Amino acid sequence: MTKLTGKKALVTGASRGIGAAIAKGLAEAGADVALTFFNSPAEAEATLGAIRDFGVHGEAIRADAGDGTAVRHAVALAHERLGGLDILVNNAGIFKRRPLQETTDEEFDRVMAVNVRGAYIAIKAAVPLMGKGGRIINMSSTFGARVPATGIGLYATSKFAVAGMTRAFARDLASHGITVNAIQPGPIATDMNPDDSRHARLMTMMTALGRYGEPEDVASMAVFLAGDETAFITGATFNVDGGFET
C-alpha cells in the first residue's frame, strides 16, 4: 500500500496500543509519521523503529497531551521535522474508572485536559500548517455514544465532547478544505482494555461478533479516513466495535 506516499502525519499518544497501530498503518501506506509519547519511551522507540522499517521518515516527540504548550510545540516540531503536515490523529487519551462520588476535581481536570483540551489545541495548532486536503481524525469511543456501566463518567464525558467537537470543527474547517472525522473503538485488546480482564467476558458478550478487536482494526479505519478517497466525508463518526453498538 502506497496511497499515502508523500503525506506527513502526526499521531498523538502513539507509543503503544491503538496509537502505535495507527502510526504503523500510516507508515505502511507510505506516509512519513511523527508520534508523540509521554510515559513510555522504550515503547515509543520500538514503534519508531517499526515506522522506519517501512522506508519512511519517522520521528518521536515527547509531549504531555494535557500540557497545551507541549502539544503546540509537538505539532510545530512534527511539521518542521517532516517538512509538512497533512494528517493529524488525536489519539492520546487516559481512562479513569471511578464512581462519581469518589472522583476529584483534579481527576476531572486531568481527563478533560488530555482527552479533550489536548485534541482541541492540537487541531488549532495544526490547521495553519495544513493545506487543502488536510485530514483530522479524532479518537472518541463507543462510550462516547453509550454508557453501559457505572464508574466511567469522566471518560464518557470526555469522549462525548470529542464526538461533538468533531462535528463542530468539521463545519468550521470545511472552507479550508480540511475534513474532520472521528473513530469510536469498542472493545479493543490493549493495555488499557485487555481482553482477559474481569470485565472482558461481559464486554465480549455485548458485541455482535462475540470477540475483542485488535488495534490494527482501528488503524485500518484511520488509514482509510486519511486517504484522498474520503474527501467528501466530514463530521462523521465511525464505530469500530464488532457490533457493540448494534
Is a pLDDT exceeding 60 seen at residue 174? yes
In the chain, where the domains are located: 8-240
DSSP code per residue over 41-74:
HHHHHHHHHHHHTTTS-EEEEE--TT-HHHHHHH
**Catalytic residue chosen out of the listed positions 54, 143, 155, 169:** 155
Contact, 10 vs 19, CB < 8 A? no
Residue 64 exposure: Cα atoms within 13 Å on the Cβ side? 7
Q: Report how far residue 106's alpha carbon sits from residue 140's, in angstroms, rounded to the nearest whole number.
A: 22
Is a pLDDT exceeding 90 seen at residue 199? no
Q: pLDDT tens across 203-212, in order?
A: 888 899 999 9
Average predicted confidence (pLDDT) for the chain:
94
Contact, 206 vs 194, CB < 8 A? no
Strand partners, 37: 62
CA 89 to chain centre: 5
30 contacts: CB under 8 Å, gap ≥ 6: 1, 2, 3, 4, 5, 6, 7, 54, 56
pLDDT for 148: 75
Q: Does domain 8-240 have CATH number 2.40.50.140?
A: no
Q: pLDDT tens across 36-84, in order?
A: 999 999 999 999 999 999 999 999 999 999 999 999 999 999 999 999 9
Q: Report how far residue 240's alpha carbon sits from residue 216's, in angstroms, rounded to the nearest whole number.
A: 11
Hunting for cell 519517522 — which residue is that? 58
Is a pLDDT exceeding 80 seen at residue 124? yes
Q: pLDDT tens across 12-44, in order?
A: 999 999 999 999 999 999 999 999 999 999 999
Is a pLDDT exceeding 80 seen at residue 245? no
Amino acid 185 reads P
Q: How many CB atoms lie within 10 A of CB 82?
A: 21
pLDDT for 2: 62
219 contacts: CB under 8 Å, gap ≥ 6: 18, 21, 22, 24, 25, 26
Known catalytic residue at 212: no
